[in-house]
Amino acid sequence: MADVLKRVPVREQDPAVRAHNFDEVCLGYNKEEAMEEASRCLHCKNAKCVQGCPVSINIPDFVAAVKEGEFEKAYQVIGQSSALPAVCGRVCPQENQCEGKCIRGIKGEPVSIGKLERFVADWAKENGIKPETAKVKNGKKVAVIGAGPAGLTCAGDLAKLGYEVKIFEALHKAGGVLAYGIPEFRLPKSKVVDAEVENVKSLGVEIETNVIIGKSITVDELLTEEGYDAVFIGSGAGLPMFMGIPGETANGVMSANEFLTRNNLMKAYLDEYDTPIRKGQKVAVVGGGNVAMDAARTALRLGAEVHVIYRRSEAELPARAEEVHHAKEEGIIFDLLTNPKEILVDENGWVKGIRCIRMELGEPDASGRRRPVEVPGSVFDIDVDTVIMSLGTSPNPLISSTTYGLDVNKRKCIIADEETGKTTKDGVYAGGDAVTGAATVILAMGAGKAAAKGIHEYLSNK
Ligand SMILES: Cc1cc2nc3c(=O)[nH]c(=O)nc-3n(C[C@H](O)[C@H](O)[C@H](O)COP(=O)(O)OP(=O)(O)OC[C@H]3O[C@@H](n4cnc5c(N)ncnc54)[C@H](O)[C@@H]3O)c2cc1C
Ligand code: SF4
């Protein structure tokens, strides 16, 4: 009999093989494995896992349905709370959320809730099961800006409540970071992202791409001339930050956003596409978050030797532990407690190296993490021909600067009520990275849900 304290292991591509391809790393559970893993769940009365889920999925009930082999029922239970289960099952930081609170985790390994969610969503897609739709339309119109997780969730929930919803998306493809940021090997685009976008459309949501709100049309025009009763802004935080060190404008230095967008959205990794991308021989990725791991693992797959340069130690790496583990398995070199001082440039203006200094950890700073301080006299150079900056992003001020009465804070994030998404402008709601700054898929979805509720309350009382 299987050890109930241990998870059913999930199959993955061999690291030596996957380092050279863009196919998905994790292969997921099959039916038998999913049912066996689901049988580890204790179906707790006071289920702590639900408290850890930002969109409050009824985890005990969906897992119980999986245990019984009732996968369609499991899908509909998840669908009551989440519009993007195949995405969340793959990229949510479950270890800090549902699985981090799972009672099974006290004595053994927590139930693999994320892998079960992924299994259910993939099974539903393979079997042509769609989410339940609204029966009656209520005659009111809502505009949603941005087709990322926040916008898709808000739009889906409003459509289920009977609203006519249209999403305006700046790029040529819906999905937000799911489409342009997270690489294929973690989140397959046509199999997962496009399929979940289609599910949202099947609820009656219309998506118009290539419309930049603030340029093509403004929020005020949507409310006055276009007759929308309310607007939700889910425009994300896509503006990259740089260090401001010498040499940063050299050829061969780019933001992780640019590098990943070329590769993911514009398919630079496929030979049949003409998108230009710099495939370095030796690449430095500066930063330690999920975005840095994605950029590093992408550069590796394009054929480079890759160094991740991060100023704190491994314990402080903000990326998910699973991503760091996968990156190491694939051969990424981690230069920890290291900070860039200058990018070295050759006579033609191209990167030829990166000058760094060793760091050590001092007293805790405002974030509670120990502050990295330079070790005097420890400067050294690493030979690289490409530098990818992955230092975080902030919201683009285009919408806030063109919308009368919409206030932002000093980080250019839109000010919105956490419970309802209500902004300082009447009839305008916001959520996701545009409000919090760069965060996570599930938090953006939670904000989209809260705003859908807030908009429904507002329009029901108008
Ligand atoms: C490389 C990368 C890896 C990540 N990995 C993870 C992970 O593993 N797990 C996790 O939980 N989170 C991860 N994140 C974070 C997560 O993806 C984001 O927090 C989440 O996508 C935010 O959702 P959103 O809907 O607020 O914004 P976005 O996903 O950014 O979507 C916003 C959308 O709005 C559009 N838009 C912007 N301005 C306008 C405009 N003026 N008019 C019309 N449309 C506009 C954009 O084109 C975009 O499509 C990652 C982020 C990146 C960049
Ligand atoms: S806390 Fe863990 S064991 Fe309890 S219901 Fe949730 S998943 Fe099952």
Cα→Cα distances 120→79, 88, 100, 245, 281, Å = 11, 12, 21, 47, 40
Residue 18 Cα, ligand 1 centroid: separation in angstroms? Answer: 26
pLDDT tens per residue, range 222-241: 999 999 999 999 999 999 99
**Ligand 2 contact, 47 CB (< 6 A):** yes
CA-proximal residue: ligand 2, atom 2 (nearest):
102
Burial 147-163 (b: 16+ CB within 10 A, else e): bbbbbbbbbbbbbbbbb
pLDDT band at 131 (very low <50, low <70, confident <90, very high): confident
Counting ligands in written order, the one closest to the CA of 294 is 1
pLDDT at position 6 is 94
Residue nearest to atom 37 of ligand 1 (CA): 235
- For 138-193, how does the pLDDT look when each residue is reduced to its tens digit (9 = 90+)? 999 999 999 999 999 999 999 999 999 999 999 999 999 999 999 999 999 989 99
Checking if the pLDDT of 267 tops 90, the result is no
Residue ranges matching CATH 3.50.50.60 in the chain: 141-238+394-460, 242-389
Q: What is the CATH number of domain 242-389?
A: 3.50.50.60
Query: Which of 170, 44, 154 lies closest to 101 in space, CA to CA?
Result: 44
Question: For the domain 141-238+394-460, what is the CATH superfamily, name and number?
Answer: FAD/NAD(P)-binding domain (3.50.50.60)
Distance 411 CA to ligand 1 centre (A): 17
- pLDDT number for residue 268: 85
Is the pLDDT at 2 greater than 80? The verdict is: no
**Burial of 190 from C-beta contacts in 10 A (0-12 / 13-18 / 19+):** exposed
Two tokens at 36? Answer: 């066996």
pLDDT in tens, 401-432: 999 999 999 999 999 999 999 999 999 999 99
Q: Which of 7, 53, 59 to mutate to test the pocket of ligand 2 (most atoms within 8 A of CB)?
A: 59
Residue 1 has what pLDDT?
55
Q: What is the distance between the alpha carbons of residues 75 and 88, in angstroms, rounded to a whole number?
A: 13
CA dihedral 52, 56, 59, 60 (to 10 degrees): 90
All CATH 1.10.1060.10 domain ranges in the chain, comma separated: 11-126
Query: How far does residue 377's CA lie from ligand 1's centre (Å)?
Result: 40
- pTM, full prediction: 0.93
Strand partners, 305: 282
Is 219 near ligand 1, meaning CB less than 6 Å away?
Answer: no
Give the distance from CA 124 to its chain's centroid: 22
pLDDT at residue number 103: 96
Ligand 2 pocket residue status of 102, Cβ below 6 Å: yes
- CATH number of this structure's domain 11-126, picked from the four choices 1.10.1060.10, 1.10.645.10, 3.30.565.10, 1.10.8.50: 1.10.1060.10
When the pLDDT of each residue in the chain is averaged and rounded to a whole number, the result is 95
Ligand with minimal distance to 400 CA: 1
Which tens digit of pLDDT belongs to each residue from 300-353? 999 999 999 999 999 999 998 889 999 999 999 999 999 999 999 999 999 999
How far is Cα 347 from Cα 171, in angstroms, rounded to an integer? 37
Phi, psi of 26 (to 5 degrees): -90, 135
203-209-215-219 Cα dihedral, nearest 10 degrees? 0
pLDDT over threshold 80, residue 278 = yes
Closest ligand by atom to 96 CA:
1
In this prediction, residue 257 carries a pLDDT of 96
Residue 75 pLDDT grade (very low, low, confident, very high; cuts 50, 70, 90): very high
Give nearest CA residue, ligand 2 atom 8. Answer: 41
